[in-house]
Each structure stands twice: as C-alpha cells, then as structure tokens.
Chain A
C-alpha cells in the first residue's frame, strides 16, 4: 500500500461526498457462514463536522465521466484531478475498514466511463468479489448506472443490499436545462426493473424459503434542490410519485452546493439552502409517518413551505377547525397531527392514558413540546387556552418563545433611525 492509495482515496471520497444517502438499515443479512459482518439496524460510526453521519465507506470507483451535467463536480468539462481505484483496492479498503469497525459497509458509485454497462459491470464485480470470495455480509449500496442492462441490474441486486438511481433534478424541464445529455427514461428504467424484481422476489420467498434475497434494503434516490428554480410543491409531488410508483424506501433532498461557474446555476459562494432542505425533510416525514398528504401541506396557491415555522404547525394554523384535540380521548391519527407531539410521545400518550387521565405535567414529562402543543390540545386540567387567538397571534406567541437554530446565525437588528 502506498501514498498513491491515500491520494486516490482523497480524490474519490471527495467526489462521492455529494451523495447524501448513508443509510445502512433495512437489510437483515446474517453472518451464518462464519464470514465477516452482518447487517441490521443502521449504525453510525462517526460524524463529520457538518453533523452528517458516516456509516458507509462512500467512494467513487472513478471520477472520469463522459457526461457534462452542469450541477456535478465530476463533469467532463471541469478541470479537476482524476483518479480510479482498481477492483482489489476497493475490496481491500472495505474489508480492512470493516474489520476495524470503522464502517457498516460500502457505498460505491462511479463516474460513467466508456458506457453504462461497462461501468456497471465493474461495480457489480466488486460486490460479487466481496460477497463470494471474502464472505462479506456487511452492507453494500451500489449506484445503478442509468442505462445499464437488465442482466447487470439483476446481478447487482443479488449482491447489493440497496440500489439507487439519482433523479437529481426534480423537474423534467430542469433536467433538460442542466443535463441535456441525460434522459429521464434511462433513470426510470433500472428503477422500474428493480421494483419488479423485488416484488417477484417477495412472491418467490413465500414459496421457496431459500430464495436468495434481491435488493433486501430496497431502493432510494436523491434530488438536488435549489439548482433549477423548482418550487417545494414540485419537489414534494415528484417525491410522493416516486414513493408511490417505485416503492422507494427513501428520497433524499440535497441542498445544491455550488461547484460551478455555469450561469445556469447559483454562483459559487452562494449559501447552501440548509433551512429549505430541513423543511422538506420535515414534510417528507409528515407524509410518510404522520398520515399527511402532500396536498395538505403544499398546493399551487402556496407552493413553498414556510421558512419560519415547521410544516405541521403551519398546517395546524391553516386548519383551526380541527382543534382542540382531547389528549385523553382522541385516536392516534389525530394526536399525531398536533404540533409539538412526535411519534414516540404520541404512542406513549396512548399507552399511558389507559391508566390515568393525563394533565399538562404528564405531557411535559413524556417529552411533548408543550409550548407549541398548548394551543391545540385539551387535557385533564382547567388551565387551557381560552382566548380566541388568531393563527397569526399563535404564530407570534410560539416564535417569541423559541429561538430557531437557523435564525440564530444571522440576527437582523432593527435600525434605530
């Protein structure tokens, strides 16, 4: 091992870091063959200074690429250092990092060299080598290369735990503008193939218990936000379509990080839309775990999420008729919709109220954010909000009582004159 590997790792980890996904859960690979490793609940092994977890060794096989997508750091026209790992180098790094408990597995992506199949074949070969020769049972996340053949996708699915294709730009219009060489159909086809494969595999497993798993941790995708002028409504609708049509496990939203002087894109040095990204994730969670429909959170007349309050609170303020909710009677579905009550607190409330009527003190102890919830619930107490407050007033009260972590960094001072 030499300095050269260190250098390659530097280049190819740096080029891979714009992929957000680092999940290592959802698969249940057992270590039955006296081999190395297993998968289960995701484990985060470290956190970088931007607070993101490191769970997988996330690298590109190479950052040589024949495409010239404006938003991508590895685009053909970009003057950067290029490098490529050999198959053995990736395998060696993965195994040795894994044995030292640095990682949960491998996240392997690649720039596209020569053509899609040629690239995909290399990725599959690495996964195969790990699984068969090294009896590696850790997590493997492979990127499906848009345009790869069905045979290769099938083989990839047998070795990988998760496959993903990045949609990158949420609207077709934006894609045409920023990546004219890429075709949406090429992205959709492998996704569709994997979806069908998973459905078929589940059916077969019911009949033959020993059927090998096919992409056990499912598929995910990623969208760049803030690069092509799309609204939150476009993004969320696109995401919900993906969840619905391809049974995706996750859609990741990645605030665009300026990497190009291209005038079609935000200039280098402009801020990453972190707050917007955060609100989109909140909305995503509401649709997946809290029973909200995208249409309830966003619609063409209000196409963007509120910046200063979270989407659930914003929904509650728009729908005063749904409140107050009685904590001691309402069903889970309604309790979940109260601002300040999360999934865990809601379940605890349901469990605890079988034994006694709950009051404010209980709610506080169970972990409910009472400063927000108090305007929307009643409980076993005579003290509750009686004033007939308008949505605007409630918003003001809540905002004055809390300090947003995003606003803290840029306080706007009133001028005196």
Chain B
C-alpha cells in the first residue's frame, strides 16, 4: 500500500491524482498531512503541489465533466471529509474511463460525490443568508462564521457582486482565515481572531448606529413571528442550533 501525502491544498490534491497515473500506482491512498499516520507496512511519498501537473488533471476533468459536474468535484474537495480523497480518486478514474460517468448515480462513488457536493452546496447557500455584518469604526462590515465545510471560496463571488460599494470581511473561525473585499477585489487574509468582545467594549469597535440597527433587527425578528403557528422542529431543520451564536437575532438563546 502506497500513501501519497500532500498539504491539503487543491493543487496538491490534483498533483496527487497526477502522480497515481504517472507512477501507475494501483493500491494507493491519498492523505492530507494533518490526517496522516504512518503505518508499519506502508510506503509514503510526500507530494508537493505542482502547477503543471495539477493543470493537466484540471484540464482533463474539465473536458470530461459538465460545468456543474466539475463544480461538484470542487465542492466535494471543500467538504474536507476524511474520505474525500479516496472518493475523488475513484471518481476521477471513473470519469476518465466512462463517458458521462457523472450521471451514473447507481455507482456508489458517483452517488457519494454527488451527495457530498450537495451537502456542501447546501451549506454555502445557507451561509449566503446567515452571514451577519456589523459595521466597525474603521468602516468595514465584519462578520464571523463557523461553517461545517470550507465554503468561503464558494460564497466570495456572491458577496463581491452584491456588496460592491462597501468594504467587508468574512472570517471563518474554524479554519482561521477570512476573505476581505477592499472595493476592488477579494483577497484571502489570515489573522488571529479577536476574542469575544464584551458588550461594554463593543462601542469602541463598532460604529455608532450599529447597535441600534441590531436592536431593530432583533425587534423585527420577534414581531414577525406568529405565536399560534409555533413549529420549532421546522425552524431547527432549516437553521440548526450550531449556527445560532453567530446570528444577532438568536445569539441570546444559543448554546455555548
């Protein structure tokens, strides 16, 4: 059994796929550095991301998948699930050998990849709604999120098109990076997140009217509810509790 160890990057994964073909590896597993644990009977190769090799795999995938299928492949990578590499490697082999393979939902690998992609798309769609900006004193609309999957790359285009005339920053607390829009373009930024700001200091960080709008929004959230139609189960299905602490209107009821 051969293990290809890579750094977890998109280019790295594509390079690993290239290597399995290049070296004609049969029994092979691709693992992220963070998840790799050496086995007694295992050989291991560390793979560095290589633009040329990755580019060739990318080109092949684009040729053999529909645009939606390709996006699904990328979304599956963003899921960061432990078995993601295994599925994508098997999927690639299938895609290169069978015409229109992305529609063969009877195949376990195809189904798994399409289901994982759906999970990721669902969360990226949710995040488009659940991001809450707060206007800071230095005129940046700031938001913190903690999605299950690494969805920031999927939503940055949406926010760029929508909020063209304001600076914004969305920070992923779980993965410790953010995307920042400076009125021109979106860039990835890394910094140590501010720890939770106590309410009495929030005035120093956020602009004057910010707290008032938050109050208005909370009021709206309560007023638009209809008591006699209470259906908490439905609410939780659409908005699971793990998101609540980042939403202004539900923050007070969120589990710690």
Contacts and interface: CB of A to CB of B under 8 A. Distances in A.
Given A101-B133, A101-B143, A51 B165 contact: no
Interface string A56-92: 0110000000000000000000000000000000000
Contacts of A97: 213, 216-217
A107 B105 CA distance: 41
A48 B225 contact: yes
Contact of A96 (B143, B213, B235, B239): B213
Given A51-B238, A100-B134, A9 B111 contact: no
Could you say which of B162, B216, B232, B233 has the most chain A C-beta atoms within 10 Å of its C-beta? B162
A37 interface: yes
Contacts of A354: 103-104
A132 interface: no
Interface in A241-280: 255, 257-258, 271-272, 274
A102 interface: yes
Interface in A19-57: 30-31, 34-38, 41, 43-54, 57
Interface string B209-225: 10011011101110111
B235 A34 contact: no
B164 interface: yes
A348 B105 contact: yes
Q: What size tier do the contact residues of chain B reach? A: 35 or more
A161 to B, nearest CB: 15
Given A43-B129, A57-B220, A101-B132, A355 B107 contact: yes
Given A31-B162, A272-B229, A352-B103, A10 B221 contact: no
Contacts of B216: 5-6, 9, 93, 97
A358 B107 CA distance: 10
B162 A257 contact: no
Contacts of A102: 132, 217, 248
A35 B165 contact: yes
Contacts, number: 155
B39 interface: no
A206 interface: no
B244 to A, nearest CB: 10
B133 A100 contact: yes
B125 interface: yes
Interface string B121-135: 000010011111111
Interface in B221-250: 221, 223-226, 228-235, 237-239, 247-250
Interface string B70-91: 0000000000000000000000
Nearest to A100: B133
B194 interface: no
A43 B164 CA distance: 18
Nearest to A344: B118
B34 interface: no
A366 interface: yes
Nearest to B243: A46
Given A50-B235, A100-B134, A101-B143, A355 B213 contact: no
Contacts of A176: none
Interface of A: 1, 5-6, 9-10, 13-14, 16-18, 30-31, 34-38, 41, 43-54, 57-58, 93, 96-97, 99-102, 255, 257-258, 271-272, 274, 348, 351-356, 358, 362, 365-366, 405
Closest 4 CB pairs of A and B: A51-B234, A352-B105, A13-B223, A50-B229
Interface of B: 98, 103-108, 111, 125, 128-135, 141, 143, 161-166, 209, 212-213, 215-217, 219-221, 223-226, 228-235, 237-239, 247-250
